């Protein structure tokens, strides 16, 4: 599930310069990353943060700072897991594109081919004109059901309901489209929920079973699991308390080992628990070209204008920077923020997770912290030069 809260957008600003500060005082890059993260964390106001960087030769560096709970009894560590929010869309889009390569799906046929026989299909906004390309690119014209009071109430009160794609789609049935298919960009999870159902109907395989078998296991992403159950292990609680107002009547997202909202309802809008290490490794494998065939990678990266200077392809946001293009995705869940980025010109990937989504209360935008870490890591790649100023691509409600 996602929240369409206040958007923090900023485009990427990278200025080439010699690295300043203490980076040269230590020779081990991992130690320098950890030290820099602790330094920035001390000023930022986050409960906790984990960061991972994957270098061109696939070396992985991880770091963590802060606390895994509100009472400050457990430290966060690089293996701490959190919901990845809409970063999960990168996996969903990849699974769909693999099915396109297999000849099971097509991007431009009308989705009525696979789900048009459903009794509710005629009530789906823009239903007859929808394609998978429009859905994966957020150009369907769907309204955003995840903002609806009925949806929030449902996930807050019916915690053990086994949400189906059809049940989630019900929140937009009979709603007026925002615009004709393909006319504009509007981000909403509903695009991916419908795409996930199309995938399952066409392939006969549950979406997250396919993601596990075809992506997570082959790539060794063993810290990543579908969030299809309330009880999770090694998952860090997220802070829900906003100035005394407790979302879902709890200060944290997990109580007694259970999520306090129906996390499974996110489905194809995200749907994964992960770590910054796994997400950085995923970005490196995907955007390095080790997962999709070239034609499907081209489909994914063919991006149209989205918002605030960014472009959106099929499950990927692309921005421009002084370091060239940047691929990635961000995401939020009640109590969590995640960011995943990749620099194709330098083949460096990075990811960050925070166990809170209280952006207005942070003293430093998380993007600047991730940028400082990436700049430090990329010093070797750029022959001793790096960027001392990095403002992250939008870190939003997704």
- Tens-place pLDDT, residues 189-234: 999 999 999 999 999 999 999 999 999 999 999 999 999 766 677 8
C-beta separation of 44 from 395 below 8 A: no
Q: Which of helix, strand or coil describes residue 117?
A: coil
Domain residue spans of the chain: 13-86+229-391, 90-214
The pLDDT confidence band at residue 3, using thresholds 50, 70 and 90, is very low
255: β partners: 258
Buried b (16+ CB within 10 A) or exposed e, 336-358: bbbbbbbbbebbbbbbbbbbbbb
Q: What is the 3-state secondary structure (H, E, C) of 182-238?
A: CCCCCCCCHHHHHHHHHHHHHHCCCHHHHHHHHHHCCCCCCCCEECCCCECCCECCC
* Two domains, one topology: 13-86+229-391 and 90-214: yes
Distance CA 64, CA 79 (A): 9
Q: Strands 13-18 and 48-54: what pairing?
A: unpaired
pLDDT tops 70 at residue 59: yes
pLDDT in tens, 325-335: 999 999 999 99
283 or 260, which is more confident? 283
Query: Is the pLDDT reported for residue 145 higher than 80?
Result: no
Task: Find which of 20-34, 320-334, 372-386 is predicted with most confidence, using mean pLDDT.
Answer: 320-334
**Which pLDDT does position 148 carry in this prediction?**
67
Pairing of β 225-226 and β 241-242? unpaired
- 370-380 average pLDDT score: 86
Task: Measure the CA–CA gap between 325 and 317, rounded to whole angstroms.
Answer: 10
Q: Assign domain 90-214 one CATH number from 3.40.710.10, 3.20.20.70, 3.40.50.150, 3.40.50.11540.
A: 3.40.710.10
For residues 335 and 355, is the Cβ–Cβ distance under 8 A? yes
Beginning with the edge strand found earlier in the chain, give each strand of the sheet holding 272-274 in spatial order. 82-83, 272-274, 225-226
Which pLDDT does position 304 carry in this prediction?
A: 94
Cα separation, 114 vs 38, in Å, equals 51
The CATH number of the domain covering residues in 13-86+229-391: 3.40.710.10
For the segment 111-131, the average pLDDT, to the nearest whole number, is 97
Burial of 33 from C-beta contacts in 10 A (0-12 / 13-18 / 19+): buried
For the stretch 290-349, pLDDT in tens is: 999 999 999 999 999 998 789 999 999 999 877 789 999 999 999 999 999 999 999 999
């Amino acid at each position: 599930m996602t929240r369409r809260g206040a958007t923090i957008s900023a485009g990427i600003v990278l200025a080439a310069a010699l690295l300043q500060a203490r980076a040269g005082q230590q020779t081990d890059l991992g130690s320098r990353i950890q030290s820099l993260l602790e330094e920035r964390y001390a000023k930022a106001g986050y409960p906790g943060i984990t960061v991972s960087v994957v270098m061109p030769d696939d070396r992985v560096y991880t770091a963590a700072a802060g606390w895994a709970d509100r009472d400050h009894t457990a430290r966060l560590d690089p293996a701490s897991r959190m919901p990845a929010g809409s970063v999960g869309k990168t996996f969903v889009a990849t699974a769909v594109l693999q099915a396109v390569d297999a000849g099971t799906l097509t991007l431009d046929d009308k989705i009525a081919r696979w789900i048009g026989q459903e009794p509710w299909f005629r009530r789906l906004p823009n239903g007859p004109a929808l394609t998978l390309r429009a859905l994966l690119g957020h150009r369907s014209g769907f309204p955003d059901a995840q903002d609806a009071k009925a949806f929030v109430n449902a996930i807050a009160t019916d915690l053990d309901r086994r949400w189906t794609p059809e049940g989630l789609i019900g929140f937009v049935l009979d709603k007026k489209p925002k615009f004709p298919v393909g006319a504009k960009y509007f981000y909403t999870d509903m695009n991916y929920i419908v795409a996930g159902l199309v995938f399952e109907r066409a392939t006969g395989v549950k979406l997250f079973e396919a993601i596990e078998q075809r992506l997570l296991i082959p790539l060794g992403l063993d810290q990543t699991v579908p969030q299809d159950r309330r009880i999770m292990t090694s998952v860090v609680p997220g802070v829900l308390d906003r100035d005394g107002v407790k979302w879902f009547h709890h200060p944290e997202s997990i109580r007694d080992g259970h999520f306090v909202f129906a996390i499974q309802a996110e489905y194809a809008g995200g749907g994964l628990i992960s770590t910054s290490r796994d997400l950085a490794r995923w970005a490196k494998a995907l955007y390095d070209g080790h997962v999709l065939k070239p034609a499907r990678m081209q489909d994914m990266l063919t991006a149209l204008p989205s918002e605030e200077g960014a472009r959106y392809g099929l499950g990927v946001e692309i921005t421009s920077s002084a370091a060239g293009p940047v691929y990635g995705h961000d995401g939020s869940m009640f109590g969590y923020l995640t960011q995943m980025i990749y620099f194709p010109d330098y083949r460096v990937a990075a990811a960050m997770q925070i166990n809170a989504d209280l952006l207005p209360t942070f003293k430093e935008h998380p993007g600047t912290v991730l940028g400082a870490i990436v700049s430090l890591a990329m010093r070797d790649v750029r022959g001793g030069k790096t960027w001392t100023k990095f403002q992250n691509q939008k870190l939003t409600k997704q």
